[in-house]
Amino acid sequence: MRRSDTPRLLIVPGLHDSGPAHWQSWLQGLHRDACRVRQRDWSDPDLDRWSARIDTTLAHAGEGPFVAAAHSFGCLALAHHLAQRPDSPIVAALLVAPADPARFGIAERLGARRLERSTTVVTSDTDPWMRAAEARRWAARWGSHVVNLGDAGHINVESGFGPLPLAARWVDGMRQRYARSRRPRHASFGEWSFAT
């Protein structure tokens, strides 16, 4: 079965899920074909279980590829999934306000492996869940591009983020980039020789 030329959106929420006013729910509403990871217990941040739910969600979602937008502990679960599953149908990931793995005692389990796909970490100077310098260190380990929003807290509803246009632009950009990469390349005239 041929993979689609337009990746679908996968939403990976953090602790306590992302309510209807959260930017992830807003972003999901922009994409009718989006799917969302649902945890059995949103208050129990277990890295293995949360990562396994990403696997299960993708298996039930049907044909990929996917671009993923994660938040907080969801970023850690997604990074773990990508490190464990190099064959994942996720081709790009947006990691918004990742929680500090040290707070959950899982820093060594995440390791320092590059994620081997396009990733962007969005951080803030005032995020109570991870200092910006630490977010930059994790981004470097993962091979991620970094965007710092300045005084933006945890980039959630409490910090004033319902819509997050940056996330919508990122999804559109990654989908277009993937589609362009799948187009057949045509030889230019300079590569042809014409017999006379």
Distance (Å, whole) CA 27 – CA 164: 8
Do residues 9 and 171 make contact, with C-beta atoms less than 8 angstroms apart? yes
Among 73, 78, 118, 113, which Cα is nearest to 97's? Answer: 73
Per-residue pLDDT of the chain (196 residues; tens, 9 = 90+): 335 678 999 999 999 999 999 999 999 999 999 999 999 999 999 999 999 999 999 999 988 899 999 999 999 999 999 999 989 999 999 999 999 999 999 999 887 789 999 999 999 999 999 999 999 999 999 999 999 999 999 999 999 999 999 999 999 999 999 988 887 765 443 443 333 3
Q: Is 77 exposed, middle or buried (0-12, 13-18, 19+ CB in 10 A)?
A: buried
pLDDT of residue 5: 75
pLDDT of residue 63: 85
> How much is the CA Rg of the chain, to the nearest whole Å?
18
Task: Write b or e for each residue in 163-179: b if 16 or more Cβ atoms lie within 10 A of its Cβ, otherwise e.
Answer: ebebbbebbeebbeebe
Per-residue tokens: 118: 């396009």
pLDDT of residue 113: 81
pLDDT of residue 3: 54
Residue-range domains of the chain with CATH: 8-191 (3.40.50.1820)
pLDDT of residue 195: 38
pLDDT of residue 183: 76
Phi and psi angles of residue 127, each rounded to the nearest 5 degrees, phi first: -75, 120
